[in-house]
Chains A and B, each alone.
Chain A
Amino acid sequence: MSTTTQTAPGTEAPSYYDLDEHEHPPGASTMLGFWLYLMSDCLIFAMLFAAYGVYGGSYAGGPGPKELFELPLVAVNTTALLLSSITYGFAMINADEQNKAATLRWLAITGVFGAAFLSIELYEFSNLIHEGAGPWRSAFLSSFFTLVGTHGLHVTFGIIWLVTLMVQVARRGLEPANLRRLQCLSLFWHFLDVIWIGVFTFVYLLGVLR
């Protein structure tokens, strides 16, 4: 009994490292890396939220959130983004099931919702600028345009990415590399929705309450 617990004379010397090379399939660490990118992006938004928190009350004699923000418009925007989140989820599920046509269809629907969100936001921005409440008007508006604009810019790049992936999937199908890319965009897209929760709550709803 006791001899079996010790190193038996016939066996090889114990090794403290992996003798054979591990397999590192391409993209094995992509998801973790992309997650870390998202976390750093989160920090960018934290800075912008902090800036808005500090400057949000500095109207410089100009208009405040109560006069400027139209909550029904923001509600429609929030709905569009929320719907685009679940439609992207359906695209991912269909991609996992290797259903190419349905994946492309759901991706297209997601893109439409994303575009709707973006057009409403641009409409809101142009309205504000026409009313003379552009980013130059006050520190409040500077920080507002920076924060909401940065989010909108992310959505814009998300849509460009989405269209690119639709072309990729249509041409090459749902191969592992494309699935991985779809998954990265999935994280990105849902992450933007999480940021939007912060925006509509802290900027719009609390701004109107202020």
Chain B
Amino acid sequence: MSADTHGHGHDSAHGHGHHDAHDHHGGAAHGSRREYWIGFLLSVLLTAPAFGLVMTGVISDPRVTAGIVMALAMVQIVVHMIYFLHMNTKSENGWTMLALIFTAIIVLIVIAGSLWVMYHMNLNMMPGMGGEMSSGGM
């Protein structure tokens, strides 16, 4: 979708054409002024409400606020990926996207797995034995 606007000869069928393109542009897609402005405005529109919600506390239930704030952050990360990091499925023949997906899976496993395991470990500890967890540093 965004790759169409760059048009740096990614559609050239021959390998040599690709190499020329890569030589010049490093294989990564480029943004235009318009793209940067869109990305910037979207990030402002996503960041400001997150801060606003938490700082003013309009929603009485903090869990609802937390959910909205997390959702906004997820969307903003995708916006940054597309408009600032120029991620698409075409650059470097899709290898950057593959690496990104792989990393995202690992990140998900590490974070969700740690929280899950440690939460249950804390629960299963006797209150008297919990001292090590809460006072021990890194």
Contacts and interface: CB of A to CB of B under 8 A. Distances in A.
A46 B99 contact: no
A58 B133 contact: yes
A39 B91 CA distance: 16
A92 interface: yes
B106 A43 contact: yes
Interface string A32-67: 100110010011001101110111001110000000
A89 B84 contact: yes
A170 interface: no
Contacts of B32: 93
Contacts of B111: 46, 49-50, 53
A58 B16 CA distance: 57
Interface residues of A, number: 63
A206 B53 CA distance: 11
B3 interface: no
B133 A190 contact: no
Interface in B15-49: 15-16, 19, 22-24, 26-28, 30-33, 36-37, 39-40, 43-44, 47
B114 interface: yes
Interface in A169-201: 176, 179-180, 183, 187, 190-191, 193-194, 197-198, 200-201
B134 A75 contact: no
Nearest to A139: B137
B60 to A, nearest CB: 12
A39 B26 contact: no
Closest 6 CB pairs of A and B: A50-B114, A89-B36, A201-B73, A31-B26, A190-B84, A46-B107
A47 B103 CA distance: 12
A71 interface: yes
15 contacts: A25-B23, A28-B27, A32-B27, A35-B92, A43-B110, A58-B133, A71-B51, A89-B36, A89-B84, A93-B31, A96-B30, A136-B137, A200-B50, A209-B62, A209-B66
